[in-house]
Amino acid sequence: MVAQILTHGRFAFLQVWKDKSMWLKVLLMLPLAEVLPLLLVGRAFLSYDQLQAFLFTNLAWCFVASVIMQCLYVFQSVTQSAKLDLLIAADGGLAGWVVGYCGMTSLVYMASAAVSCGLLGLGLGYPVSPAALLVAIGLVVPAVLALMAVVLGLCLRWARILHLVNSTLDVLQVLACVMYPLAALPAILRPAAVLTPLMWVNQYLWTGQGWTLLVALGLCLVALVAAFAWMRRCVARYRRLGNMGRSR
Amino acid sequence: MDTAIRISNLRKDFGAVTVLDIDALTIEPGTVTAFIGPNGAGKTTLVKLISGIWAPTRAKVLTVFDEPVDQSVRRRSTTNVGVVVDSSQLFGMLTVEENVDYMARLYHVPKADRAERVRAALEACGITDRAHDRAWTLSTGLKQRANIARALVTKPRLLLLDEPTSGLDPVSAEQVYDTILALRGAGITVVACTHIMAEVSDLSDRVLFINHGKVVADGSPTELLSHVGRVVHTIRLPQDRLDQTRAQLLDHGVKRTVVRRDEQGVLLTALDCPDSRVLESLGFDFERRAADLRDAFLVLAGD
């Protein structure tokens, strides 16, 4: 399995490396998009203390959203072509490909986050901690992998679901408490937020409490196991029924 | 010697619909077998079951070179099965060589052998000169050859092709045919799903006609022609005379006819009428020609 993951990661990187527009996006467009909200919104509505936390929660969220959007695009390409059967035949499933592809995509977008961090710290004079950023993003990667496994399973199960998933990113942003700590969230949303690994990572960034990272890690592990079990079940269903949703 | 494919009591249902039901089937190694049949007959389903991509609803025996087809052990199998569907199996941003190398790594081709196997696969498909071009820049025909190279790098003993020349112009198709013939020469067992009768007659040692999920006819291309006889007669007539003409032919023992319509009217092909005098006596203006596999296809498809 490790060899399969590394192979998928290698060739995922090659596809990104060859796409010049991708590097323009990762190294220029995305950092600008990550920095501008801070300049335009953060300064106006957040206090200095909140501003520092928002700097990192915003970077972490942009990282998550970017990886998810990129993976959704590729998932659509794979599930609507003969690549799906190719990958299933080669690996006996899709877990290796999901981990390899999404993992490599995460690494690529970490480069974007690093550029953003550099821009904010060196270019604009904001106090930044690369270590804190790496911890946040590092903990988010397993959660992203779990989410993408769920999404791929949904796609195999119901087909044509990717646009719906795309729009749920807005919900995830709210539940992840990107722009405010958990205490600011309406009570009705807190139970769902508590189950969101990214929320606990952001809580650490908002409050500095180390135990929240342990909760995030635990939730990530649970999410990974459950998500890949779900995806495995959906792959088995696809192979048994020969269709995604109602189409073959 | 191993049997390339052995099937017994194979069935595949999609919901309440049985799309494939084969009692027994064996395919010998080193042969080229064509699966033909109308759309929805079950050809692609059979290919996907043999390759292990889909799971059968029921299978008493489903083996490839005497090894059970089981998705969970596919990766560890020593009997590789290559599957070529269409060029969407290629990753467009990767070069041809990278696409082939990708598969070599996924199928655990030893590192020491990998470069040589990639080179050999590209050479076998006549695409070495385009090895460093991105897949998306290739023509449809070259993409398909690259796709075949991708499947060959794992040194499969069985190669499954699903409509390998679909969408290709005659020149590109001819290049793919040459590749398939070379594979047969190399001892690889080839199974091809196709609608193109030229592929069937020129490439195949054996033809299986599949309709409504069952093998309706099985034999060499020449044996398949026995379903239509040696000659066929084609009569052009207006639409309003079709039923009357069919009745007249039936009275004279011509039971099987095929009807095609075009902008000029109706073309009626009489299939079991070896003697042209029958049609002459009825005063028809007809054209006589040698029967071909397309006629056999139409008869077996129940058209």
End-to-end CA distance of chain A: 28
B16 to chain A: nearest residue by CA?
A: A241
Q: Which of A86, A91, A238 to mutate to test the interface with B (most CBs of B within 10 A)?
A: A86
Say yes or no: B114 contacts chain A, CB-CB below 8 A.
no
Q: Which of B14, B62, B75 to mutate to test the interface with A (most CBs of A within 10 A)?
A: B75
A81–B53: do the CB atoms touch at under 8 Å? no
> Which one has a higher pLDDT value, B298 or B133?
B133
Tokens of B46: 């059979």
Q: Is the pLDDT of residue A47 over 70?
A: no
Percent of chain B with pLDDT over 90: 38
For B272-299, what is the mean pLDDT?
79
Q: Is the pLDDT of residue B258 over 90?
A: no
Measured in angstroms, the CA of B204 and the nearest CA of chain A are apart by 25
What is the per-residue pLDDT for A50?
66
Q: Which residues in chain A touch residue B75, judged by CB atoms under 8 angstroms apart? A: 90-92
Three-state SS across chain A?
A: CHHHHHHHHHHHHHHHHCCHHHHHHHHHHHHHHHHHHHHHHHHHHCCHHHHHHHHHHHHHHHHHHHHHHHHHHHHHHHHCCCHHHHHHHHHCCCHHHHHHHHHHHHHHHHHHHHHHHHHHHHHCCCCCCHHHHHHHHHHHHHHHHHHHHHHHHHHHHHCCCHHHHHHHHHHHHHHCCCCCCHHHCCHHHHHHHHCCHHHHHHHHHHHCCCHHHHHHHHHHHHHHHHHHHHHHHHHHHHHHHCCECCEC
For B219-230, what is the mean pLDDT?
83
Q: Of how many residues is chain B composed?
A: 303
Report the distance separating Cα A61 and Cα A190, nearest Å: 18
Say yes or no: A85 contacts chain B, CB-CB below 8 A.
yes
Measured in angstroms, the CA of B95 and the nearest CA of chain A are apart by 10
What's the pTM? 0.84
Q: Nearest by CB to A19, which of B73, B74, B93?
A: B93
What is the per-residue pLDDT for B32?
92
Three-state SS across chain B?
A: CCCCEEEEEEEEEECCEEEEEEEEEEECCCCEEEEECCCCCCHHHHHHHHHCCCCCCEEEEEEECCEECCHHHHHHCCCCEEEECCHHHCCCCCEHHHHHHHHHHHCCCCHHHHHHHHHHHHHHCCCHHHCCCEHHHCCHHHHHHHHHHHHHCCCCCEEEEECCCCCCCHHHHHHHHHHHHHHHHCCCEEEEECCCHHHHHHHCCEEEEEECCEEEEEECHHHHHHHCCCEEEEEEECHHHHHHHHHHHHHCCCCCEEEEEECCEEEEEECCCCCHHHHHHCCCCEEEEECCHHHHHHHHCCC
B47 to chain A: nearest residue by CA?
A: A85
A3–B105: do the CB atoms touch at under 8 Å? yes
Report the distance separating Cα B97 and Cα A149, nearest Å: 29
Q: Is the pLDDT of residue A62 over 70?
A: yes
Q: Is the pLDDT of residue A246 over 60?
A: no
Say yes or no: A40 contacts chain B, CB-CB below 8 A.
no
Q: Nearest by CB to A239, which of B45, B53, B86?
A: B53
> Which one has a higher pLDDT value, A40 or A177?
A177
The overall average pLDDT reported for chain B is 86
Q: Nearest by CB to B14, which of A11, A82, A242?
A: A242
Q: Which residues in chain B touch residue A83, judged by CB atoms under 8 angstroms apart? A: 88-89, 91
Q: Which residues in chain B touch residue A18, judged by CB atoms under 8 angstroms apart? A: 93-94, 134
Residue with tokens 């070069």: B95
Domain B5-224: assigned CATH number = 3.40.50.300
What is the per-residue pLDDT for B72?
44
Say yes or no: B105 contacts chain A, CB-CB below 8 A.
yes
B89–A4: do the CB atoms touch at under 8 Å? no
B71–A239: do the CB atoms touch at under 8 Å? yes
B91–A4: do the CB atoms touch at under 8 Å? no
What is the per-residue pLDDT for B18?
92
What is the per-residue pLDDT for B9?
94
Q: Is the pLDDT of residue A139 over 90?
A: no
B105 to chain A: nearest residue by CA?
A: A7
Range in A54-63, A204-213, B73-82, B125-134 the model is least confident about: B73-82
Non-local (6+) Cβ contacts of A138 within 8 A are none
Q: Which residues in chain A touch residue B74, judged by CB atoms under 8 angstroms apart? A: 89, 92
pLDDT band of residue A185 (cuts 50, 70, 90) is confident
What is the per-residue pLDDT for A48?
64
Q: Which residues in chain B touch residue A91, judged by CB atoms under 8 angstroms apart? A: 75, 106
Q: Which residues in chain A touch residue B103, judged by CB atoms under 8 angstroms apart? A: 90
Q: Which of A2, A5, A8, A11 to mutate to test the interface with B (most CBs of B within 10 A)?
A: A11
* Domain spans of chain B, in order of start: 5-224, 228-300
What is the per-residue pLDDT for A49?
66
A242–B103: do the CB atoms touch at under 8 Å? no
Residue with tokens 């690996």: A91
Non-local (6+) Cβ contacts of B220 within 8 A are B204, B205, B206, B207
Q: Which residues in chain B touch residue A14, judged by CB atoms under 8 angstroms apart? A: 93-94, 98
Non-local (6+) Cβ contacts of B303 within 8 A are B258, B259
Angle B118-A79-B41 from CA coordinates, rounded to 5°: 90
Q: pLDDT tens, B17-62?
A: 899 999 999 999 999 999 998 888 899 999 999 988 888 999 888 8
End-to-end CA distance of chain B: 40
Q: pLDDT tens, A65-93?
A: 888 888 888 888 898 888 998 998 888 88
Q: Which residues in chain A touch residue B105, judged by CB atoms under 8 angstroms apart? A: 3, 7, 10
B106–A90: do the CB atoms touch at under 8 Å? yes
ipTM of the complex: 0.86
What is the per-residue pLDDT for B28?
93
The overall average pLDDT reported for chain A is 84
Q: B228-300, which class in CATH?
A: alpha beta
Tokens of A154: 């949904």
Measured in angstroms, the CA of A75 and the nearest CA of chain B are apart by 13
Q: Which residues in chain B touch residue A3, judged by CB atoms under 8 angstroms apart? A: 105, 108
> Which one has a higher pLDDT value, A141 or A168?
A141
Q: Is the pLDDT of residue B74 over 80?
A: no
Amino acid at residue number A136: A
Say yes or no: B74 contacts chain A, CB-CB below 8 A.
yes
Say yes or no: A245 contacts chain B, CB-CB below 8 A.
no
Q: Which residues in chain B touch residue A7, judged by CB atoms under 8 angstroms apart? A: 102, 105-106
